[in-house]
Structure 1
Amino acid sequence: MPAVRFFEVPERHREAARAWLERGAGIPGSTPVPAAAVVFVRDGEHGVETLLTHRTGSSSLGPVGFPGGPVEAHDDDPLDWAGPTPLEWTRRLGTDDVGRARRAVVAAARKAFEEVGVLLAGPDPMSTVESVEGAEWLRSREALALGDVSLADVLGRRRLVLRSDLLRPLAHWVSSDFVHRRHDVHYFTAVVPDGQTASLLGSRGTWCGWVDAARAVADPHGTWLGDLVGRPDTLGRPPAELLAPGSLVALESLAECSSAIAFLAKKRRIATLNPVLEEHGGRPVLRLDLG
């Protein structure tokens, strides 16, 4: 992999990027919002597949991405915990802040359940909930989305334990300074527990589906993924217009793996990746120094 990589600035951000290059360069950006996302993986007919969602709006994370979102204050609420402790997660995530590490893990599990109905929890540290379908579970997901309850409330009411051991650390990305609403995202990877089926919460998106990772990124100028999602802001658009750099790189990494198990088992050193906006060839691009 080259020591430096350039990412195209999506069309929706180019005006802001040019304005930043003209007037804002050198001025610190807004404080990034802590967030978490989960890259679910499985073996498909033609290779490794992952679960992607489509969101409306103008998120800096792009219209297409992995289940995830901002950390919330109630992610600090106490809950029953199994697997690596929050202190152990500080090492795994490359941070020295125990609270930050714990919140990232809880937020990842919360957003996975809220957005796509995958619950990384069980009645004890060795098992998982086999099904989260039905009206009662759906009400819990809607309540989470509205902020009326916390993940601790959902699990505590059913005497369930958060299975932090089902998550693996994947990457840590921070949005470039020029982006109006920046995110500081810890990416995790996991598999959907046996018996559970991913399903979109309608209030949190318009599409979700399992995608062949290799096909999605085979052609950097291709429109297969955007056409598959089939929404006005995705049709005819290449991957760089749809996905944040962190999500794009995760898809590329998946495409290189022979199996879901190989991807999950891969040892990774988590470093903070923060693309920098600069002008290259007369156009704004994001430069990432890979060391």
Structure 2
Amino acid sequence: MVRRVFDLPPHQIPTAENWFTFGSRTPRSPRRASSVCLVRDCSKGVETYLTFRPGGSPMGNVAFPGGSHEASDRATYQWFGPSLSQWSKRMDVLDQQLVQAHIVCAIRELFEETGILLAGTDEQSIIEMTDPEEWMGAREAIAGQDLPFDEFLRRRGLGLRTDLLRPVSHWLNPNFALRRFDTWYFAATVPNRQEATLLRGKGKWGGWQVASGVLAQRNTSELGDLVGQPNTVGLNFSRISYPAVEMMLEAMSEANGVVAYLSRARSLDLKHPDLLVRDGIYYLEVLGSMSAESSRPWQAAAGRQ
């Protein structure tokens, strides 16, 4: 059992103080959410795409693309990749409708926030971005809930390439938080002829960062200053992000390239940070394996059950 302690982001301190002062109460119900870590190789190691998330996001102010479930995530989709029963077994979640919602949400949110679309006309194809303006318009309509994601795909004869996702971690926000997510994190690479871009009018900052480089500077404000937002400037990495992000960056930095990172199955036990008070200072404490992985590869199989 590994015990990790992380700094608490400043915007969470008043809520933590209130929780500690007046005693534990019933935690707020978490919303289901999904997030995707885009990864690619570079000369310095594994890179990942980080974005700024405004409003004190439960995923962290600087985190991976993602968001909460929507009703359309449970609609009927053309499905390429492991069956729902296989996904259910891998994630150890019996409710296959919930499993589908997590996977669809991951692909939908990734498309909304970055323009990366894990979809094709069959299990071998992947769509190419041929018209950036049309692509952006579709992202805006889906993000604004003017166009259901399932309808967008159906109009283009596309199915979800779920085989391009790998489950990497499962997190529940601490009990004291005012906004709580039960989040499944997935990893994926960027398909050919696609490029990550911010959603017009909503994205504030996003960029590729070398995992080992972020960690090397985690005790400085280098990344926070680069992001340049009022709640990131001058703050170290733990204060602008979330333990889930930091620990997944550690796993990326330890991997010998993207193939090695993606091909290994993880221990997907739920991680649930707790509030820790030490000398009047508030921290987040995480118990469990850091990045426990087995040598068993993730088996992708076509079809759906």
Counterpart mapping for 1:105-184 below 5 A: 105-131=103-129, 133-184=131-182
- Find the residue that maps to 2:67 and give its secondary structure: strand
Contact kept, 8 Å, 2:35 with 2:66, in 1: the verdict is yes
Determine which of 38, 43, 46 is the counterpart of 1:45: 43
| Letter in structure 1 aligned against 2:182 | D
Identical-residue share of aligned pairs (%): 38
Distance 1:219 1:135 in 2: 36
Counterpart mapping for 1:20-39 below 5 A: 20-25=19-24, 27-39=25-37
- 2:226 equivalent to 1:228: yes
- Find the residue that maps to 1:171 and give its secondary structure: strand
Counterpart mapping for 1:180-195 below 5 A: 180-195=178-193
What do residues 19-45 of structure 1 show as CA deviations (whole Å, max 9, x unaligned)?
1011142x2210111000000000112
Distance 1:264 1:124 in 2: 22
What do residues 96-136 of structure 1 show as CA deviations (whole Å, max 9, x unaligned)?
11111100000000001111000000111111012154222
Contact kept, 8 Å, 1:55 with 1:204, in 2: the verdict is no
Distance 2:156 2:145 in 1: 19
| Letter in structure 2 aligned against 1:208 | G
Distance 1:250 1:210 in 2: 15
| Letter in structure 2 aligned against 1:5 | R
Contact kept, 8 Å, 1:117 with 1:132, in 2: the verdict is no
Contact kept, 8 Å, 2:140 with 2:200, in 1: the verdict is no
Structure 2 equivalent of residue 62 of structure 1? 60
Structure 1 equivalent of residue 94 of structure 2? 96
Structure 1 runs (4+) greater than 3 angstroms displaced = none
Which stretches in structure 2 are left out of the alignment for 5+ residues?
290-305
Structure 1 equivalent of residue 293 of structure 2? none
Distance 2:147 2:23 in 1: 40
Q: CA shift at 1:140, angstroms? A: 1.1
- 2:257 equivalent to 1:256: no
Distance 2:132 2:194 in 1: 12
Distance 2:72 2:7 in 1: 36
Structure 2 equivalent of residue 18 of structure 1? 17
What do residues 219-254 of structure 1 show as CA deviations (whole Å, max 9, x unaligned)?
431122112222232222111011111111111211
Q: Closer, same or farther in 2 for the Cα pair 1:219/1:207, shift >3 Å? A: closer
Structure 1 equivalent of residue 73 of structure 2? 75
Q: CA shift at 1:257, angstroms? A: 1.5
Structure 2 equivalent of residue 3 of structure 1? 2
Q: Closer, same or farther in 2 for the Cα pair 1:190/1:132, shift >3 Å? A: farther
- Find the residue that maps to 1:139 and give its secondary structure: helix
Contact kept, 8 Å, 2:77 with 2:150, in 1: the verdict is yes
- How many residue pairs were aligned? 289
Distance 2:192 2:44 in 1: 21
- Find the residue that maps to 1:196 and give its secondary structure: coil
Distance 1:202 1:238 in 2: 28
Distance 1:21 1:203 in 2: 38
Most deviating of 192-201 and 281-290:
281-290
What do residues 180-217 of structure 1 show as CA deviations (whole Å, max 9, x unaligned)?
01011000000011111111103332111110111101
Structure 2 equivalent of residue 211 of structure 1? 209
| Letter in structure 2 aligned against 1:237 | L
Distance 1:63 1:202 in 2: 19
What do residues 161-184 of structure 1 show as CA deviations (whole Å, max 9, x unaligned)?
100000000000000010001011
Structure 1 equivalent of residue 297 of structure 2? none
Contact kept, 8 Å, 2:129 with 2:135, in 1: the verdict is no
Which stretches in structure 1 are left out of the alignment for 5+ residues?
none
- Find the residue that maps to 1:203 and give its secondary structure: coil
